[in-house]
Structures are given as C-alpha cells and as structure tokens.
Amino acid sequence: DENALMELLNFIYSGKLTTAEPSLLLDILMAADKFEVVSCMRHCCQLLTSLPWTTESALLCLDHPCTMSMAAEVQLLISAAKDFLVNKYKDYNNLRKEVTNISLAGIKAILSSTDIHVECEDYLFLLLLNWARVRYPDLEERREILNSHLLPLLRFSHMTYKTLQEILACTANDIDHEQVTKCINGVLLCKAYPAHKPGALAACAPSCQQFAERDYKYRHLKVVAFDQPCPQVIAYMDLKHEECSQLFPSGKIFSHPFHVAGQGFILGARCCKADQGESYSFGLLLYIDLELKGSTCVTVDYEFAARTRPSRQFVSKLNGRHTFSDKFPVGSRYLFWVPWQTFMADDSIFIDGVLHLRVDLTVVEQTELQT
C-alpha cells in the first residue's frame, strides 16, 4: 500500500510516523514486517497498544496478515486485542447482540476464554451454529469452519443431557457427525469412569480445553443415584472462594436440575440477609421442579453437608424430612451459623480455596394433593 510504504520510508529517515489511525498503523506494521524494519514494527505495536481499543481495531489486529507472527511485540499486540474482546464480550447477552459483526478470529478468541458468563454451554453451541450459517452461506466452507475451528472450542462436558441428545440426533450437513459423536462419547466415558479420566482425555478428546468450566449461571453437579432399596440421590456442588465472594450481597447460584423418582430438584446457593439488622450469611436451599411435581405431594428425607478441615470429611449441617406441596424450598439461610465475613475468611470451610457441598436426598413418599 502506497500510504503505508511512504510512512515506512518517513520512519526510516526520521524515526517518526505521522498517523495514529489503527488500520493504517497495521498496514505500516505489515510493510515493516515485509522489509524487516524491526524498530518500526516495535513502534507500530507500541502505538497500537497505547490507543483506546474498539471492537473494530481489535478485530483488525487479529485479522491482519503478518509473516513475523512470532515476534514478541506482535504477540503482545495480538494478546492485548484478544484480552479486549474477551473482557468486552464475557457477558453472553453482549456477545449475542453483536456476534454477526465479529470475524472468525474474534469468535475464536472469545470462545477460547473460560470467563464467559452464560446460563449453560448449550447457548454457545446454538450461537456458533447460527453465526456460521449467517457468515458462511457456502455449505463446504461452513462445514470446514465449524468442524475445524469452532466445535473444538465448545465444552461438551458441560452441556445438558437434552442438548447432547439433540446434537447426536441432528442430521444437518454442516456438522461432522463422526467428529461430534466421538467427542461426546469421550465426554460420557470420562463422566462414567472418572478414575480413568486422563487416559480417556488423551484417547477421546482433542484438548483438555473441552473440560474447562466457564462462568455458568447454572452449575453442573456430580450426582450419584440409587433406585433400591429406595429412590435416593447424592449431589455434590463445588464453589470457588471468588464465586462465593461475588454472591454478596444478594447473589444466587443455581444448579442444573437433578432427578430422582421422576422428580426434578435444583440446588441454590445464595447470600442471605438477616430478617432484622444488617448481617448476612451463606444459605443453601433445595427447590423442586414444579412442572414435574404437578399436583403431587413429594416427601423427602434430606441432609446438607460440607467438607471441613482438619478431617476433610463431609460434616452434616442440616437434616430432616420435608414435604413439597408448593413452590417453597427447604434448606437453611444460615448453613454455617456465622456472619458472611467470618464465613468468607474461614479456611476450615474453604479447602484450597474451594467450598465443597453435598446434599443427600431420599424420596420417602409421593401422594396426590387433596382437592
């Protein structure tokens, strides 16, 4: 480009550039790369990094061809552009509104992050599918983009059972069903046989990234279920210290539904304010799926427990019997019976920075509500 070449010549003789426009700076960077004017490359990168980032300038950096992509200065510039996009679009709603204006390189940078705040991974699968169908109308090109670039960025291990079923049953031509089926099989093997997870990962998953958890609104639980001698389920929820800190003063974290005896239950962790005064505490509540419950009264025996030091064993914090006849949950708004600040500072509760919770639920009886 003539303008870029003239700016490069001017820099060689004066050590200065006359522009601060991102697209022209990138053209100058490419010219400096071509002619190996390292000092100009460094100067362009410093200018670009110091400018206020916009989506357009970040995408220009990621999409711009540069043969010396391994140069340290260029890598810092690319990293800064990726960080900007990740921070701007870490809220799924922001990403959904502007996704059609984002290039492939931008989408890959955003979806490589674990910081995206989204209800569940299912939403990102549908988003990528729709994005590819809008941006790449040609079937063969879209199939290549989806299967080589985008599907490996999805965390299939954190998708819901329903969506995994739909993906396996999908007959769309733009998805490589053999590749997706292999990936989902690997995920299911790892969940079924966690003790063999490293071997299964190496054999069935292209990257450990497949198993990295994002900032989900609804959390997956580790669940053990029994049919005999009575319907019982034991569910485990792990919360990081920083996740708990973000609950203050009125935040909530809900689990995906887990099922036993035909009923669905949801575990909810929250920061609860005392009925009187200004004190707060950690609460854990169990909800029932009203749609599945219908007109049935469901009686359960329950126990809430937390792993504590020094034994690192689960210690019961609350237990009893409860009948779900309406929408109201069962549990405790004061699970540890200490103020919020004391709870957050307690190393005997947060083991290596993680709060380990367990709910043991047994369905005792199900009867129809009397009208």
Mean per-residue pLDDT, 224-249: 94
Binned at pLDDT 50, 70 and 90, residue 27 comes out as: very high
Domain range for 9: 1-89
pLDDT at 213: 82
Closest CA to 120 of 171, 164, 169: 164
pLDDT in tens, 324-368: 988 899 999 999 999 999 999 999 999 999 999 999 999 999 987
185 and 255 part of one domain? no
Q: State the chain's maximal CA–CA distance in angstroms.
A: 92
pLDDT averaged over the chain? 89
79 and 46 part of one domain? yes
Residue 61 forms part of a structural domain: yes
194 and 227 part of one domain? no
Beta bridge partners of 260: 263
What's at 347, amino acid-wise?
A: D
DSSP state of 20: -
In contact, 308 and 348? CB cutoff 8 Å: yes
Closest CA to 358 of 200, 222, 252: 222
Binned at pLDDT 50, 70 and 90, residue 66 comes out as: low
Number of domain units in the chain: 3
pLDDT at 209: 52
Q: Which comes out higher in pLDDT, residue 294 or 225?
A: 225
- At 42, phi and psi to the nearest 5? -65, -40
pLDDT in tens, 152-181: 999 988 888 889 999 999 888 888 888 889
3-class SS of residue 25: helix
Share of the chain above pLDDT 70, in %: 93
251 and 353 part of one domain? yes
What's at 309, amino acid-wise?
A: R
pLDDT at 153: 92
3-class SS of residue 286: strand
Share of the chain above pLDDT 90, in %: 68
**In this structure, are strands 263-273 and 252-255 parallel, antiparallel, or unpaired?**
antiparallel
Mean per-residue pLDDT, 183-188: 84
Rg (CA), the chain: 26
Residue 50 forms part of a structural domain: yes
Binned at pLDDT 50, 70 and 90, residue 210 comes out as: low
pLDDT in tens, 88-98: 999 999 999 99
334 and 291 part of one domain? yes
In contact, 283 and 343? CB cutoff 8 Å: no
179 and 232 part of one domain? no
What's at 339, amino acid-wise?
A: P
pLDDT at 198: 52
23 and 79 part of one domain? yes
Query: Do you know the residue count of the chain?
Result: 371
What's at 180, amino acid-wise?
A: V
Binned at pLDDT 50, 70 and 90, residue 192 comes out as: confident
Binned at pLDDT 50, 70 and 90, residue 80 comes out as: very high
180 and 234 part of one domain? no
In contact, 221 and 254? CB cutoff 8 Å: no
Mean per-residue pLDDT, 295-322: 95
3-class SS of residue 214: coil
For residue 290, what is the domain's CATH number? 2.60.210.10
The packing angle between helices 121-135 and 161-169, to 10°, is: 30
Binned at pLDDT 50, 70 and 90, residue 64 comes out as: confident
Residue 95 forms part of a structural domain: no
In contact, 163 and 219? CB cutoff 8 Å: no
Mean per-residue pLDDT, 218-235: 92
In contact, 366 and 311? CB cutoff 8 Å: no
Q: Which comes out higher in pLDDT, residue 217 or 205?
A: 217
pLDDT at 284: 97
pLDDT at 241: 95
Res 19 pLDDT > 50: yes
The DSSP string of 304-356 is EEEEETTTTEEEEEEEEEEEE-SS--EEES-SSSS-HHHHHT-TTTEETTEEE
Residue 307 forms part of a structural domain: yes
DSSP state of 369: P
Mean per-residue pLDDT, 77-105: 95
Res 207 pLDDT > 90: no
Integer angstrom CA distances of residue 287 from 236, 280, 322: 15, 21, 11
Integer Cα distance of 352 and 361 in angstroms: 27
52 and 145 part of one domain? no
Binned at pLDDT 50, 70 and 90, residue 208 comes out as: very low
Res 286 pLDDT > 60: yes
Res 136 pLDDT > 90: yes
Mean per-residue pLDDT, 1-13: 94
What's at 105, amino acid-wise?
A: A
pLDDT at 200: 45
46 and 81 part of one domain? yes
Question: Between vectors from CA 28 to CA 24 and to CA 32, what angle results, nearest 5°?
Answer: 170
The packing angle between helices 72-88 and 104-111, to 10°, is: 70
